[in-house]
Structures are given as structure tokens and as C-alpha cells.
A and B are shown apart, each in its own frame.
Chain A
Amino acid sequence: MALGKCNYPMFALAGTLALVASAVLAQEGQRTFSSGYRFVEMSGEELYNNVCRGCHMMDGKGATGAGSYPSLAANPNLEAASYPVTMVVQGHRGMPPFGGMMNDDQVAAVVNYLRTHFGNNYSDAVTGQDVRDARH
């Protein structure tokens, strides 16, 4: 599907909707949902919050059960920008590849977000062209 932005507006809910549900939504506000296989979120922050956060968590520190999701916080592996670009595009072990679900600019945006948040402070931003090169 084409990358059309597709915000599902909040439905005007009946006043009787259970309070829990409406209170949660009021707190969370507008959220972007994709309409097809590919993500429509474009900013690094929104991509992180709607995609990466599922496993790497809100604070970027990952989580541990029978196995672990690695922490991205203050992570020296992020120093070489090509490493997170490759991880996002190709995946790694159990981590799914997102190269088919994000375009070059989206991958660059989310990598730049990771590398400048969660205690990471790398100023050399990745471009869509860098991602394009990394795909080959």
C-alpha cells in the first residue's frame, strides 16, 4: 500500500462507554495507526513510540523474561551508525527486519532518534541515502 497518512479519528463515543476506556484514551490522545503492511509514522519519536517501544520499552532499557530485549540506553553499539541501521533494516535473530515496513527516511529518522535519546548522544545524523546504501 502507498504510504498515505491514515489517522483514525477518535470516534465520538456514547456517553455510557465504560469510564476506564474513555479515561485511558483521553490520557493517550490521538494515536497514529497504519492502514497496511507498512508504517505511516514518519518522525523518529513516533516510530519509536509506536514500533520499537513494543520490545525495547518506554525507557529504552529493554526487558527480560526467558530471553531478553537488549537495552538501547547508553549503548556503545550505537556509536557506529551503520550498526543500528543494519539492525532495523535486516533484523537480528528474533528481532524482525523492518526494511520492508519502513522506507529509507523512516529508518534514518528512528535511528537518529535512538542515537540522540536514552542517554545516547551521537551528533552524526544518518540520512536516507545512508540507509539506501546499507540496503545493498
Chain B
Amino acid sequence: MRIPGWCGLNTSMHDEAAGVSRRDLLSLIGVMAGSAAMYHAMTSLGFASESRYRGPVRLEGDPKGASVLILGAGLAGMTAALELRKAGYQVKVLEFNNRAGGRNWTLRGGDRFTELGGVTQACDFEQGLYVNPGPWRIPYHHRALLDYCRRLDVTLEPFIQLNHNAYLHASRAFGGAPQRIRTVKADFQGQVSELLAKATRQGKLNEAVTREDQEILLQALRSWGALDRNYSYNANLHASEYRGYATAPGGGLAARPVPSDPVALSDILKSQLWRYLQNFANYNFQTTMFQPVGGMDMIGKAFAKEIGDIIRYNAKVTRIQQSDSAVTVTYVDATRPSITETATADWCICTIPLSILSQIPIDVGETMKAAIDAVPYAGSVKIGLQFKRRFWEEDDAIYGGISYTDLPIRQIGYPNTGYNRTGRGVLLGAYLFDGANAYEFTAMSPEERVARAVEFGTAIHPQYGAEFENGIAVAWHRVPFTLGCSGDWSDDARRQHYDNLCQIDGRIVLAGEHASELPAWQEGAILSSLDAIVRLHERVVKT
């Protein structure tokens, strides 16, 4: 468990409430001011709290023409740029890439991507098809990101995390045949319920559960596990309503459904397929999840529409200096590296990933420098594959969602858009995060990554062989603007360095997913940025 290292948005309400009990205070507020005020108070007091986000940031007070230089035009940098300019600051942004968005990124047909090592891939997807090499899903409780999507008019659609008809696959179980998530989930749940019911009825839970509760527990297990009258999970039409039928119900003559046979508990246990079920239970992956219509980079583009005019692209930062009165950043134009330029401002918000910032000379104190140096960057690989037809829908009835496998590709993500159409489609053919396989795929040439993804994926979808057309592979350690996927804090490093990383050091403050307790999430980048600008603004207004 990570310690809550959050740098303090709106925690002061806790202290103010200390004299009265929270419940008393809430009922008082409810009586005096109505339910909207009570809801606001509840969230401020820590109840009903699914997010640290408190609505659009209000930077009150006059910055008196102060200037801010922001390093990086990802979501953290652009959030700061948008809000600070609105609050009256003079803002300029330096960005290494020739586009805004950073890891908020989508590859489409016609795009080209040159990775470290010099290999350029051309994306040959058909128009309208895409892959998100970085973030691809937004939890419903990422309220800051969702609010910016609303304010910037980014249209969202559901991201399907759990598709009961997608597959769980173990290469050494069930003869290598992929199993539907629906059947594994129903059978595991059913058989565990049967076992627990048996133990209950044999009196083995008498010490743990009262007689009265045992009766209720048995009812619950029968309901939850689809057990029969005798608390047994077996092949019958009731269980088939959960796990699916051998022959589905039809119409007219011969319409009667035929029940399917459950998989034995021992087979599920030994297959290890149960371990994937956590992907549907984890708080970060619970329904509803979202994706922007048209690709994740619709968010970055919407930010850039607002503040693109103050972004200096192709700017590679080489030095960050500060004095008592100003911050000076030296950079070169990535397309003409011989020309050195400088930018000066009163304050600096630096969102450069620590993998890169740790290599740039920067005037900060020892503790912040130690924090910048303390965070390794995780490996991750995503591979988009285009096929001649959407066989996963046409043949396999898989509409969106994710299949999980123990093969090195780990996941196959189905497009959560454009359902039920004829014609081409793009799958996420591999998604590796951390672990040995991420490194092994990074070390390959891009074309071998694509070829291996096709090779392994064939074990789950034999149609790959006939339908594959082209692909593109992004290995995040090879991405020139991040040198890795995200900050991979150890618990020890976080305890020792996180608060130091988040301090304002003179005139410099850092922001980004690496300065958050939501590592690798876009929400972390935005929340860290909002926290940084609130603290910076307080300081500016006071001086």
C-alpha cells in the first residue's frame, strides 16, 4: 500500500471541522443551506469522495503581469497553460515534439513515427482507423480529466473493459483453446458458491456465521452462483443463463435451449485463468470507462486549440537555471540543433518526464534533485494491427473489450467503436506493461514486434493468418520524448522523495503523472498540475 503523499488540495476543511462532529455539522448545513450545499460539504469533508478534483480551479487575486514558462505541452503542461493564462499570467510553453499532447497520442493512417535507434514506421491504417499507443481508457472517477473533456468539447464514448464474450487464454490449458470470459466467470463463481454452501450446510461455518445468517448466506450463494435447488452448480438451464447455452434458445419449432456443461473447478484453478478476473474488479477498471471518439489525442488537440498559439514546438530543453528574480531555460531547436535559444520568465512549471529531466542541468536544491533522480521509467509496448475484416465481430461476436492471455502479447484489445460494420478494423494486438516481455518486445525491431504479435495472436484468433494487413508498434523506452512509459516509483522511493519532488523550489515547480499518486494516468498529470498552479499562484499573489 502506498502512503497518501498528496500535496494538499483543499485539506484545510478537515481542520476547521475538528471541533464539531462531522455528522452534526452536516445536518446543520443541510438544514441551513439545502442539499447542494450539503453535498459540497460532504465531499469537502471526505465523504462521497471519489476524486480529489473540486471543480474548475479558481485562481483569485492579481498576478500583476507575472510570467510563467511551462516546459512540456502534455496534459499537465497544457492544463497549467490554460488556467494560468486565464488567470492573467503571461504564459509560454516549450515543447520537444512538433505537436502538442505528449503521451496523449493517437496514430492514424498517414502518420509516421521515428523511434530511438532511427527506425521510422509509416502507419498504413485505413482512414478512420487508429491505435492509441499511450493512454486508451478513462475511469469514470477521473473527474478532472472528464471535466476538461466537457469544457473543451471532447466527445466521449464507452470504453469496454469487460466484455463477457471476449477470451481468457492459457497456452497450456484447455488444449490451448481460448475460453469465454463469461464461462470462466460463471463457472468459478458457481463452483466456489457450491463449495461454500456445502461447508455451510455441514456446519463448518458455525463458529463464523450465526444460524440466522447461514440461511441468508445459502440463499445468497444460490442466487450469486446460479446454484440449483440442492445448492449444486451443474449443467442446467438456470446455470446456462449465466455461462451460456450449448444450444441457444430459438424461435418456432425446435426452439428449446440445451444447457452447456460447466468446466470443472480443478481445471479453472490449474489453468490460472482466474487471475485475469481482477481486471474487471479493480477500482481503476470498473464501469463506466470512456474513450474520446476518434482517438485519445482528441483531448490534446482540444487543449492545443485553446493555447496552441503560445507553444514553441521542436524545443529541446538543455538547461534550467534560476536566480532570485527569474528562471532562464536554454533550449535548441530540434530541427536545427546548432542554434541555442533562451527563454526567461518569473516562474517555471516543468513537466518534463524525470527520465529526461534527470539528465538536464537544473538549479534546484539537493533534495529535489535527489527526487528527480530517484524514479526509473517503466517499459511498455503497444502494437496496432489492421485486418481486412472485423472477424472478431463477424466470426466471434466480440464487440469491444479485451482478451487476456499468458502469451507474451498479454492482451488483445478490440475497437470500442464502429461496431458491426463490414470492412477493415484495427486491433490492439499486444499491450505489455512492465515485466520481462515488455523489455523483450522493446529490444526487437518494430517490424519484428508486429510479426511476433501476429504470430502469437494467431493462437487466439486463427483468422489472423488470412486477414492481417499491416501494423505499427510503439515501445515506450524507444519513444524520443519520454524514454519510457511512466514514472515507476517504488514504495521506498516514494516515501523518501515524493514530497520533495512536489515542493516549489525557488521559482520552479514540477508537474506530471510522476508528481501524482495516480502514476501513468492522465488524471494524475492534470491533478498534479492543478495542485502545482494553486500553490504557485498563492505564492505569486502573496509577493
Contacts and interface: CB of A to CB of B under 8 A. Distances in A.
A16 B444 CA distance: 24
Contacts of B480: 65-66
B454 A101 contact: no
Contacts of B466: 14, 16-17
A40 to B, nearest CB: 7
Contacts of A54: 379, 439, 442-443, 475, 477-478
Contact of A21 (B356, B359, B468, B481): B468
Interface stretch (A87-95, A108-116, A119-127, A128-136): A87-95
A69 B440 contact: no
A34 B359 contact: no
B116 A65 contact: yes
Interface in A49-104: 49-55, 57-58, 63-69, 91, 93-97, 101
A2 interface: no
Interface in A19-48: 20-22, 24-25, 28, 31-40
A18 B468 contact: yes
Contact of B436 (A15, A38, A69, A97): A38
Nearest to A62: B116
Contacts of B126: none
A25 B452 contact: yes
Contact of B373 (A14, A57, A65, A93): A93
A25 B448 contact: yes
A50 B451 contact: no
A94 B408 CA distance: 24
Contacts of B456: 8, 11
Contacts of B358: 67, 93-94
A51 B443 contact: yes
A97 B373 CA distance: 13
Contacts of A31: 440, 444, 452
Contacts of B475: 54
A24 B455 CA distance: 11
Given A21-B451, A94-B484, A67 B355 contact: yes
Nearest to A12: B458
A11 B455 contact: yes
Interface in B373-418: 373, 375-379, 406-408
Given A34-B437, A66-B483, A96-B378, A21 B373 contact: no
A123 to B, nearest CB: 27
Interface string B355-366: 110111000000
A67 B484 CA distance: 11
Interface residues of A, number: 48
Contacts of B316: 66
A21 B450 contact: yes
B465 A91 contact: no
A131 to B, nearest CB: 18
B376 A91 contact: yes
B117 interface: yes
Residue in B96, B375, B458, B479 whose Cβ sees the most chain A Cβ within 10 Å: B458
B252 to A, nearest CB: 38
Nearest to A17: B465
A57 B448 CA distance: 15
B211 to A, nearest CB: 44
Contacts of A55: 116, 442, 477-478, 483
Contacts of A64: 116
Contacts of B436: 33-34, 36-40, 101
B15 to A, nearest CB: 38
A96 B480 CA distance: 17
Given A33-B408, A54-B478, A11 B376 contact: no
21 contacts: A11-B458, A13-B455, A21-B450, A21-B468, A22-B451, A25-B455, A33-B440, A34-B436, A40-B436, A49-B443, A54-B442, A54-B443, A63-B116, A65-B479, A65-B480, A66-B481, A68-B359, A93-B355, A93-B373, A94-B358, A96-B377
CB-based closest 6 A-B pairs = A65-B480, A94-B355, A14-B465, A54-B442, A34-B436, A67-B356
Interface of A: 8, 10-11, 13-18, 20-22, 24-25, 28, 31-40, 49-55, 57-58, 63-69, 91, 93-97, 101
